[in-house]
Amino acid sequence: MIADKPSFDPAPADAVDPASATPRVMRGIYLALGLGFVVLGFIGAFLPVLPTTPFLILAAACFARSSPRLEDWLLRHPRFGPLLREWRRRGAIPVKAKLMSLGGMALGFALFWFGGHPGPWLTAAVALLMLAGLIYVFSRPS
């Protein structure tokens, strides 16, 4: 940003400034990622094995870098806004969300184990990854 000129001012048509082109490209990438994370979060609201909150946290982070309007919409959402604001403020996860993540992971692991009949190494790897996720979730403040 130049002292008296905001960075969003358009450059003259014949000027090509790679530094200003890169942020536009990155904003587009962040916007696409944010929208994709919102879609995954929406799907996760209906599927017990797919989490909602982590995708919405990622979407809010992407919108913070690409679209203040969509970030504001997500942070003011009546259902998910308070959760996202608390995450930003303190890195907090409510107890109810922690218990839902535990239940979702347990159900997901049961479906994986009984439905797929995996070998012992794959079972152990999936169990360790899920356990690491649960340890992280339960280590966050409530």
For residue 139, pLDDT beyond 80 = yes
For residue 46, the model assigns a pLDDT of 83
Phi, psi values for residue 6, rounded to 5° = -60, 150
Return the higher-pLDDT residue of 50 and 11: 50
For residue 39, pLDDT beyond 90 = yes
Helices (H), 45-119: 53-66, 68-75, 81-90, 95-116
For residue 83, pLDDT beyond 70 = yes
For residue 15, the model assigns a pLDDT of 52
For residue 13, pLDDT beyond 90 = no
Q: Please, which pLDDT band fits residue 92 given cuts at 50, 70 and 90? A: confident
Tell me how far apart the alpha carbons of residues 30 and 33 are, in angstroms, rounded to a whole number. 5
Q: To the nearest whole number, what is the mean pLDDT of the chain?
A: 81
For residue 119, pLDDT beyond 60 = yes
Both tokens of residue 22?
């890169």
For residue 101, pLDDT beyond 90 = no
For residue 45, the model assigns a pLDDT of 80
Tell me how far apart the alpha carbons of residues 138 and 126 are, in angstroms, rounded to a whole number. 18
